Amino acid sequence: MKKVISAVLVLMMLLICAIPLYARAAETTEPGYIYFAVPTEGSVAWNNFKNIYCHIWSKTGGDVYGWQEKAERCEDMGNGYWRYDMSAISFDPEGEYSLIFSTNTGSQTYNLNVTSSCLGDIAYCDGTTNVNPVDGEKTCAVARWTNNKNVHPAIETDSAGDVINIDGIDPEEAETKWGNSEGKSYELPEIATAEKETEASAQEDTGIANQDGINTNLATTWIIIVCSVAAAAIFAVVVYLSKKNKK
């Protein structure tokens, strides 16, 4: 009887441990994408938008796609994150590329360099703004990479002919070329904002479908429920067998 109880307890522990392992798997970035944490607080907050776009261009070859074309639309990952699929774009290993994240309502980031090492990385706004290089009467949010610190906001010349070098870096030392890296996977952290609880509540109702069409939020919820019920049932069996054995 002791062996049976021990085996049942081990099985129960395995079921419980499987829950956080599955949940964490849904929170990892993929190297085929770049991610963007939409600013939701302060003077650079983006509100009331429908779509996020990722506009990429080569400093020598021009735009990859036209501004805010359908091919530039990002995918809503929920909880303030959006991602853009880079797998369909052919990059020149010697090319230098920059990007802008923007909304359908007019908000946008300042030009941010992007290299192959940025695949899987998360861009975020640091809370500051800078003049728009194309229109000196407008400002845009300064974006940076979470993990690739050596890939800086781009050095540009504004509409007045002045050089914009936000980080004051030496152009020769900055990482700008696409290169041969395939990127890395990173943990996708939660964004702590005043709207987080509202967003989380909405996601519980609608969920988020991943690239395979699997609703990860809903799937995780059901796995937790099933594992919890199974664990409770196993525990009840253990208690019953223990009492029966004592008799």
Q: Which two tokens stand for residue 132?
A: 């728009």
For residue 233, the model assigns a pLDDT of 62
For residue 94, the model assigns a pLDDT of 94
pLDDT tens-digit map of 122-160: 999 999 999 999 998 899 999 999 999 999 999 999 888
Distance CA 101, CA 188 (A): 18
Distance CA 247, CA 245 (A): 5
For residue 43, the model assigns a pLDDT of 81
For residue 68, the model assigns a pLDDT of 98
Rounded to the nearest 10°, the torsion over CA 113, 29, 196, 148 is -30
The residues of the chain scoring below 70 in pLDDT are: 1-26, 191-247
pTM of the model: 0.69
Instruction: Name residues whose C-beta falls within 8 Å of residue 32's C-beta, 6 or more positions apart in sequence.
Output: 85, 86, 87, 119, 120, 183
Give the domain ranges of the chain: 2-23+214-246, 29-190
Q: Are 79 and 200 in contact (CB under 8 A)?
A: yes
Beta strands in the chain (DSSP E): 33-37, 52-58, 62-63, 75-78, 81-85, 97-103, 112-114, 122-131, 139-145, 156-157, 163-164
Q: What percentage of the chain carries pLDDT values higher than 70?
A: 66
For residue 189, the model assigns a pLDDT of 87
Distance CA 190, CA 1 (A): 46
